[in-house]
Structure 1
Amino acid sequence: MNHTERQARILADIKRERDAQDAIFGVQDLPYGTGGQFTRQADEARRLCDRAFDRGEGTFRHVLLEEVYEAMAETDPIPLRAELIQAGAVIVKFIEAIDRAGENA
């Protein structure tokens, strides 16, 4: 499977899951729960990620946690949305790697 087909399948899987969530829970407009209380975790996740990659030991876990905690530290909806898009993109990239490994097994 090529890169474009793999991404399309993953995004279709995500859409199916979102549709299932809406079917179960309905549309939910919950409080964001983000803010400055996560700044320390975001800073630490960034440091851990940088150190891991400096040592040649970086993983998807490092990158994903950095993106998630950066999002959790945001209060302004515009940068929050941008951080969540980045986290979502890392998740898709992580799934792509899993799928490629499965295809090559």
Structure 2
Amino acid sequence: MYPTLFSNPGVKDFAEAIDAERTRQLAKFGEQQHPDGTGNKSQQDRAAFARRWCESAFASGYGTWADILAEEVAEAEAERDPAKLRAELIQVAAVCAAWIRDIDSRPTPAI
């Protein structure tokens, strides 16, 4: 559907899936604009907790994709500056791409 512009395995499929979902959202809701709603003290505290939780989980050998994603989402929610928020949201998307790639690379379980 799209030319190969991506250098990482699975990113093309991820981008195509995101594009398809955005097309569905636009058809259903139209273009939307909302306040960011990020950067308050409570969100900043949750981001610090999520960072410590994730570091601790991986240090003890029990870290998961869910831990990583929770940390990245919390960091995005804690950010007030639009440029930094955008960078954090890109990190959220990249973690989603990596997690999906991991799922897609697993052998299909026998039924």
TM-score w.r.t. length of structure 2: 0.85
What's the CA shift for 1:44?
0.7
Q: CA RMSD in A?
A: 1.4
Give the alignment partner of residue 23 of structure 2, picking from 19, 31, 52. 19
TM-score w.r.t. length of structure 1: 0.90
Give the alignment partner of residue 75 of structure 2, picking from 70, 76, 95. 70
Deviations 1:6-59 (A, max 9, x none): 321121011100111011101101111111230111011001000001011111
Give the alignment partner of residue 6 of structure 1, picking from 6, 10, 13. 10
Q: Residue type matched to 2:22 in 1?
A: R
Match of 1:46 in 2: 51
Q: Is 1:59 matched up with 2:52? A: no
Match of 2:4 in 1: none
Give the alignment partner of residue 87 of structure 1, picking from 92, 103, 106. 92
Give the alignment partner of residue 33 of structure 2, picking from 29, 42, 45. 29
Percent of pairs with identical residues: 44
Q: Residue type matched to 1:32 in 2?
A: D
Look up the SS of the partner of 1:42 in the other structure: helix
| Structure with greater helix percent | 1
What's the CA shift for 1:77?
0.1
How many residues end up aligned between the 2 structures?
A: 101
Look up the SS of the partner of 2:10 in the other structure: helix
Q: Residue type matched to 2:98 in 1?
A: K
Higher relative contact order (CA 8 A, sep 6+): 1
Q: Unaligned regions of 5+ residues in structure 1, if any?
A: none
